[in-house]
Structure formats: C-alpha cells, structure tokens
Amino acid sequence: MLTWCDDESDPQHAICREALAVLESTTDAKGRKLRVHTLPQPGPLFIEEDEASGLDRLNSSHPRRPGDRMASSYVNFYVGNSVVVMPLLDPARDEQARGILQGLFAGRRVIGVPAREILLGGGNIHCITQQQPKARLT
C-alpha cells in the first residue's frame, strides 16, 4: 500500500511517484515483483489552534504547532482476522479509501474509526495496535 497524491502543487506528489518507482523496481526475497496498491491521500490536514494548545508533550517530543501539516494516511490501518480497521480522516476521501480497502480485503469487513485525535499524537490506527514491551520488574 502506498499513499497517493494527485495534486501537483503538493510536495507529496513527487514523493509518491518516487516511492512508487522504487517499489515497482524492487523484488521480494524470491525475486517476485511487488504489486503496489495506492490509497488516496487525505487532506492535507493541518493542526488547528485549539488542538495544538491542548496537547501534552514530553520534552523529547516533536512540537505540534497550529498550522503544522499532519502526516495523515489511510495506509495506517490494522488487519485483524475478520476485519480491517481504517482511520477516518477526511470526509471527502474516506469512502474512496474504504472502497479500495474493501476490494483488497474482500473477506474482511472494513470498519472506519474517527482518528484525528490519534493523528494529533503522531500516529494512527496501526501504530496504536503495536506490541508494548513488558516492563522489567526489579
């Protein structure tokens, strides 16, 4: 899966095309060409003033300022046994992304979850489903 941007004035436009060229010229460990599927890029989405002022952050965290562009992507989804959980990020593109995912994961139900709050933290659906290491007790 690759985020795809059709807007030539967006910096992501060139980045998407470069990434696609790299992926399409790559093979897996068995020498097979990769099949790349694209998902539309939401937005672009920017941090609102009220959102930035309400964020708690650590000293080591990247600052989130009003007007900063967020790294929004429908590619950050989670695949479960019978479902795909995708972020809902942009009403103008959510259903298009859901349709593409439904076609690629025909045996699973695609569920959309409002995800802007997760995105404000710097990640998304797939990120928050990852393993947490067990703390060592001393």
Q: How confident is the model at residue 128 (pLDDT cuts 50, 70, 90)?
A: confident
Question: Residue 119: what pLDDT?
Answer: 86
4, 127, 130, 133: which one is catalytic? 127
What is the model's pLDDT at position 12? 95
Q: Is 16 a catalytic residue?
A: no
Q: Are 66 and 93 in contact (CB under 8 A)?
A: no
The span from the CA of 98 to the CA of 88, in Å, is 9
Asked whether residue 137 is assigned to any structural domain, the reply reads no
pLDDT tens digits, residue range 20-74? 999 999 999 999 999 999 999 999 999 988 887 766 666 766 777 888 898 899 9
**Cα dihedral sign for 117, 89, 5, 19?**
positive
Whether 136 maps to a domain, the answer reads no
CATH number at residue 87: 3.75.10.10
Instruction: Determine contact, residues 47/66, Cβ cutoff 8 Å.
Output: yes
